[in-house]
Chain A
Amino acid sequence: MDLAVNMQSAIAQGTLWGIMALGVYITFRILDIPDLSCEGTFALGGCISAVMIVKGVNPFVSLVIALAAGMAAGAVTGFLHTKLKIPAILAGILTMIALYSVNIRIMGQPNTSLLGEDTAFTQAIDALKLDQTMATLLVGAVISIFVVLCIYWFCGTELGCALRATGNNEYMVRALGANTNTSKVIGLVISNGMISVSGALVGQSQGYGDIKMGTGAIVIGLASIVIGEVIFGKRFNFMYILASVVFGSVIYRMIISLVLYMGLSTDDMKLFTALVVALALGIPAIKSRYSQKRIPGKGGNTAC
């Protein structure tokens, strides 16, 4: 019974984290840039939203502010990478580190409790007479679906095509007259905006904003993407792939919930996640190593 309750809660949490995974998908898979600023922007969203709610701002309005702040942070990474020519991974790290201080400044303290405050979830609970888990699931699912539809639409536009092509082949994109720097900045802005919203939602759902809440976000995002790809495969259309990222996030939360239930210490969680991602990302290499084994034939002499 206890496990079933945990699972329901995990599924609900998975939809909230799924929005972050979609953000990571845009940079990591579409733009082919490993963007570490997401660790900072996830916490940024959580911190901004928490502070604003405590100050009496409507929790849904705080999501919009978190979106804007995340986009601004993405623009900073984009500026560092495209204008100052800093390698993408380092540009992301710089933004992430800078945001650590910014987040403390925003809250004036390392964390902000939302105990007894009105959040997006308490409003959903009151308005629709739901329990905590169902409210989380509803809010998470609605926003995830909205985000998936937005990304699907955007990737079909001229700008979206240029962005996808930039991740594929920059030479070609420039030769065809699109500015690859613009594409990269747009991608980073959208991605970090979404990640910040996800952080705001997770913060509201867990009842506090914390400067450390973004630690490991990139790995969790990657885990969700990879789990989605491994389980659902790259089939059908782009919408299916985007949905599989969210489902990957849900499944990741369920796995976490399960191993915790089975007695894994929360302190070992990050190690466990890292192992899962390393293994999942390494599967193609391991597979090809075994499938490429040469078939013994006349030309070879196995004896020597």
Chain B
Amino acid sequence: MLNIIDVHKTFNKGTVNEKKALDGIDLHLNPGDFVTVIGGNGAGKSTMLNMIAGVYPIDQGTILLDGKDISDLPEHKRAYMLGRVFQDPMMGTAAGMEIQENMAMAHRRGKNRGLRWGITKSEKKLYKEKLAMLDLGLEDRLTSKVGLLSGGQRQALTLLMATLNKPSLLLLDEHTAALDPKTAKKVLELTEKIIARDSLTAMMVTHNMKDAIRIGNRLIMMNSGRIIYDVSGEEKKNLKVTDLLQKFEETSGEDFANDRMLLS
């Protein structure tokens, strides 16, 4: 499935702002793994996801996805294997385009785009069915501009778009962090539902430790660009938030308990 081998990344190398974002990441994902990723600010969680997606080139190491070396592929050429949802609800959709046009773009993820129609009649029916599943009433607003939707609606739509064509790997980068608690809960439920239904392999960065323990079959904790804790199965299920905090302090010698972590 996904194989990350000794990946390093340093931003602003050789300047005063030098920041070692990833410091030798090794990670192997099995098909069907649903991994939650936690760690303090600047631990390298988002950077790891961005490296897999190809947002920036890596300095060293190899990333294999489905046995294919994607380390040097540009972002748009990896996209056919990856579904992505970002923290910022504005980032996953095009505000000035219709809901159905956004979905049509997603439906053609990774395919060659030519002079065929950007959206066909039969697709519209499919999109309507898919949108109905969200239970947000969007199925009756196919031609509405996405800019008119709320942050939660846009995030739900982005999630639907990311999974419209089954991705090899779904990357969720704190995709509920910018939403109000009620909406965040709804989007999270939807995420679990879709991942279970399509038996997707997924990585989800979160700041909510309870969610991280409850959801998925595996949990990894990161600090200073390294994976410091990797737990799955029964052991993960029996974890408590206090265990995670303790684990963090043990391995990093730092205090993990920033406000955002404790409150969430």
Q: Which residues of B contact A167 (CB under 8 A)?
A: 96
| A233 interfacial by beta-carbon distance below 8 Å | no
- A159 close to B77 (CB less than 8 A): no
| B121 interfacial by beta-carbon distance below 8 Å | no
| A231 interfacial by beta-carbon distance below 8 Å | no
| A266 interfacial by beta-carbon distance below 8 Å | no
Interface size on A, residues (CB 8 A): 23
Q: Which residues of B contact A178 (CB under 8 A)?
A: 76, 105, 113
- A174 close to B95 (CB less than 8 A): no
Q: Which residues of A contact B111 (CB under 8 A)?
A: 177
**Given contacts A164-B96, A168-B94, A172-B93, are A179 and B114 in contact (CB under 8 A)?**
no
CA distance A154 to B77 in the complex (A): 24
Interface size on B, residues (CB 8 A): 35
- B76 close to A179 (CB less than 8 A): yes
Chain A binding surface, main DSSP class: helix
| A86 interfacial by beta-carbon distance below 8 Å | no
| A160 interfacial by beta-carbon distance below 8 Å | yes
Rounded to whole Å, the gap between the CB of B229 and the closest CB of chain A is 29
| A162 interfacial by beta-carbon distance below 8 Å | yes
CA distance A162 to B161 in the complex (A): 15
Among B75, B101, B115, which residue has its beta carbon within 8 angstroms of that of A174?
A: B75
- A157 close to B115 (CB less than 8 A): yes
- B79 close to A177 (CB less than 8 A): yes
- A169 close to B94 (CB less than 8 A): yes
CA distance A69 to B91 in the complex (A): 37
| B127 interfacial by beta-carbon distance below 8 Å | no
- B79 close to A157 (CB less than 8 A): no
| B84 interfacial by beta-carbon distance below 8 Å | yes
| A50 interfacial by beta-carbon distance below 8 Å | no
Closest 4 CB pairs of A and B: A177-B79, A161-B118, A168-B94, A177-B110
Q: A158-B115, A161-B101, A173-B94 are in contact. List 19 more A-B contacts (CB 8 A).
A: A154-B115, A158-B113, A158-B118, A162-B105, A165-B101, A168-B94, A168-B97, A169-B93, A175-B86, A175-B92, A176-B108, A176-B109, A176-B110, A176-B161, A177-B77, A177-B80, A177-B109, A177-B110, A179-B76
Question: What would be 23 A-B contacts, judged by CB atoms less than 8 Å apart?
Answer: A158-B113, A158-B115, A158-B116, A158-B117, A164-B94, A164-B97, A165-B97, A165-B102, A165-B105, A168-B95, A169-B91, A169-B94, A171-B91, A172-B94, A173-B105, A174-B75, A175-B79, A175-B82, A175-B86, A175-B92, A177-B77, A177-B108, A178-B113
Q: Which residues of B contact A (CB under 8 A)?
A: 53, 74-77, 79-80, 82, 84, 86, 90-97, 101-102, 104-106, 108-111, 113-119, 161
